[in-house]
Amino acid sequence: MKKMLPWLITILLSITLIAVVAIILFKSFFADPKEQATETKTIEVKVLSADERVEVTSELKDFRRNLKDPEYVVVLSFAFQLDGKKAKEEFDKIIEIEVRPIINRALADMTADELNGSQGEDALESKLLNLITPIIPKGKLVKVEITNFIITEI
């Protein structure tokens, strides 16, 4: 019996551990969705007036660039919405020296087919949002919008 005692303890501990894990998983998988919905935080979206939006939006107009396809040229205008006036001031200082090269590199890797349609524009906007946000010294970039979009064949 003394030789069997360590084995019995090991088996009992493993069964207990398996039972505890099974109960936790059962509760998490079969929990009421309404209870889970009350546990999540609700995020309030701050709606800006037109004047407030103009105060925190910076524009880059008539950006021209060849695409990855050598036969195509794209002409774009962008509106960058930031989270405050200070962020906009800082962004305006770096728009020519840091933002323009980022847009250049992003467009250099894209073809006309990738940019066509709303999905192409959305992909470019999200790519620029992810690339530009880390370089802003103060504040953050909230939204990138394409305000003018022309693709022409050379």
Q: How many domains does the chain have?
A: 2
Specify the amino acid at residue 48: L
Q: Which domain holds residue 78?
A: 56-153
95-106 pLDDT, tens digit each: 999 999 999 999
pTM of this prediction?
A: 0.68
46 is a domain residue = no
Going from the C-alpha of 145 to that of each of 58, 99, 128, the distances in angstroms are 11, 14, 10
**pLDDT grade for 79, boundaries at 50, 70 and 90:** very high
What percentage of residues in the chain have a pLDDT greater than 70? 90
48 is a domain residue = no
Same domain (yes/no): 83, 133: yes
Same domain (yes/no): 33, 78: no
Same domain (yes/no): 83, 119: yes
Q: Report the pLDDT value the prediction gives residue 45, as an integer from 0 to 100.
A: 57
Same domain (yes/no): 74, 99: yes
When the pLDDT of each residue in the chain is averaged and rounded to a whole number, the result is 88
